[in-house]
Amino acid sequence: MWRTVCCLLAAIAAAVFFASLSEPVVFFADESERVWSGGYMFGWGWMGPISGFFHWYANVFLLAALTAVTGRFYLIALVAGVIGAFFAYDFHGYTVLPWWEGGSSSELPITGFGAGYWMWIASFAIASLAGAIGLLTDNAKEVSDLLRFARKFSPNHVPQRPVADPVSQQPVLFASSTMTVERKEPLHMKILVIGSGGREHALAWKLAQSPRIDEVLVAPGNAGTAHEGKCRNVDVAATDIDGLLALAKHEGVAVTVVGPEGPLVTGVVDRFRAEGLRIFGPTAAAAQLEGSKAYAKDFLARHGIPTAYYAVHTDVDEALAYVRANGAPIVIKADGLAAGKGVIVAMTLAEAEAAIIDILAGNVFGAAGARVVIEEFLDGEEASFISMVDGTTALPMATSQDHKRVGDGDTGPNTGGMGAYSPAPVVTPDVHARVMREIVEPTVRGMATDGVPFTGFLYAGLMIDASGAPKVIEFNVRFGDPETQPVMLRLQSDLLDLVEAAIDARLHEAQAQWDPRPSLGVVMAAENYPGTPRIGDAISSWDVPDVADTKVFHAGTKLVDGQVVTAGGRVLCVCALGDTVADAQRKAYAEVAGISWPGELHRHDIGWRAIEREQE
């Protein structure tokens, strides 16, 4: 609305200004007291527009009006308008020379002002008002834009290249995560979020907060997104790319955000782009960073990015021989997608052998287990480091740490994640800088060098040793789950602005703001998870206290006859903000205590590492 107001005011100012050029500006008398009318600044009659156009006062006004109309450099419009109005008013004390004497005789006093003068004053004032409104409603972003624009024309200007590969010279720009992307006027947009988990609920919830969005479609969504404000579930599976394309076209979707890895690996981004639709996520080729652990490990080795030593095997006997030669502890990974359950940290040789046999011979992960990646065991503390990437620029999100093991004290088998908190204290400022320098930057640059530029959420699962040295455990090509939930609770920026900046390759202009308080999320899962979960149970108790800064995100839920029932392994993620991690944990578990269904399970120690640090 304010952008429209600015444009209308500037247009009115321009109209008044040019109308003033054909009106008398001043009246003056000669020695015989004959009264003459004229325009000291702009000539007489219809000659005004010609002579006036080249006068610096006129150019000051044109700058004010045109910049206000285009919505750029509002501060300049304001200053120019005020200066113009001031000098025009100061004209009261001027005298003029008779034009017929070429200014060679004595000056003649002004005896009065015509309509042109007052119209002239009004045009400057209206332009100033347009500039002031634009400045106050657009976060003063235009000043930095003007400086950036001006630098391009400087004779000493050197194009920005903060990081460059010494071989390829591929530019990589890295954005700060303490700033704010420019906000745009509401456009009544419709957004599509693909997926049905807790991550997708959190993304849809955060996107729905944008004033530019009228509706968020979630395909297929869950019971939580069905009741979320401005959200609407659509019964199209996340794997049905044809159906998703048809949905986006039919609904006039402006931007699509992909949640899970499956559609990314199978090419949903490629298909949408081919149809001219705006979508945020990596192409199928770039998604191989997650789709194939062998591909990711080869990429890391090729570009010298720190990671664990590894070997790739398809033959059971060769794989068994390798682990017997290297001993335990050792890590066995299914190569393909396995819903976060394809990693076995074998503490004994027997566990390693059993994992290899199950994956390669037992086919427990199907095609995803056609080959295994065997890695050295790394000591240290894990952290999730997620960035938004636009092909050349990486904008780091808030750090987080999840809890992979199903049981308290990090016991039991790996899961997709039983809880998370943000930020991760292990990622100190020094570690953060090292991760950007040694991992994120080379990854973005390396993908571009390999001809597979990466756009989307880049998730680096890290192991950080006692010295603060980070190594890559795995890559994901989407936001983590459950990390998304507590991270979105802290995000204060408009997520749509960030997504559009990434799609448009403008992340070098982007800035994200975060609530300084920590957040924590507790996953509530179904019985038997991470095995085959028990589903179909009604959530019989939902007696959560009314606590500020808490949010329950749905994952494996659906509505049956108006009642919420379990429909997956991880059912809910209960999140809270707190003054400390311990405070956030207390709030979250107070909510968890009021929710129950048969067989429900959850960990009781989410955030324990951070809380121990707080108590030191």
Give the start-to-end residue ranges of the domains of the chain. 2-148
**Between 178 and 566, whose confidence is greater?**
566
Average pLDDT, the chain: 81
**Between 102 and 345, whose confidence is greater?**
345
User: Strand (E) positions, 60-188?
Assistant: 95-96, 108-113, 163-164, 171-174
For residue 232, the tally of other CB atoms under 10 A from its CB is 16
Residue 188's pLDDT band (boundaries 50, 70, 90)? confident
User: Which of 128, 137, 116 is CA-nearest to residue 13?
Assistant: 128
Q: Determine which of 484-488, 541-545, 564-568 has the lowest per-residue pLDDT on average.
A: 541-545
Residue 20's pLDDT band (boundaries 50, 70, 90)? low
Residue 593's pLDDT band (boundaries 50, 70, 90)? very high
Residue 46's pLDDT band (boundaries 50, 70, 90)? very low
Q: Is the model's pLDDT at 366 over the cut of 70?
A: yes
Q: Is the model's pLDDT at 124 over the cut of 50?
A: yes
Q: Is the model's pLDDT at 157 over the cut of 90?
A: no
SS3 readout for 424-457: CCCCCHHHHHHHHHHHHHHHHHHHHHCCCCCEEE
For 429, counting Cβ atoms within 10 Å of its Cβ (0-12 exposed, 13-18 middle, 19+ buried), the class is exposed
Residue 441's pLDDT band (boundaries 50, 70, 90)? very high
Residue 103's pLDDT band (boundaries 50, 70, 90)? very low
Q: Determine which of 25-29, 381-385, 496-500 has the lowest per-residue pLDDT on average.
A: 25-29
Q: How many CA atoms lie within 13 A of 364 on its CB side?
A: 17
For residue 550, the cross-strand partners are 576
The per-residue pLDDT for range 293-327, each reduced to its tens digit, is 999 999 999 999 999 999 999 999 999 999 999 99
Q: Can you tell me the mean pLDDT for 469-482? A: 95
Residue 346 structure tokens = 């074998």
d(CA 121, CA 20): 9
Phi-psi region of 391 (alpha: psi -120 to 50; beta: other; left: phi over 0): left
pLDDT number for residue 330? 95
Q: Does the reported pTM lie above 0.75?
A: no
Q: Determine which of 126-130, 138-142, 442-446 has the lowest per-residue pLDDT on average.
A: 138-142
Q: Determine which of 451-455, 520-524, 537-541 has the lowest per-residue pLDDT on average.
A: 537-541
pLDDT number for residue 78? 55
DSSP notation for 39-54: -TTT-SGGGHHHHHHT
d(CA 394, CA 172): 8
User: Which of 212, 259, 280, 272 is CA-nearest to residue 503?
Assistant: 280
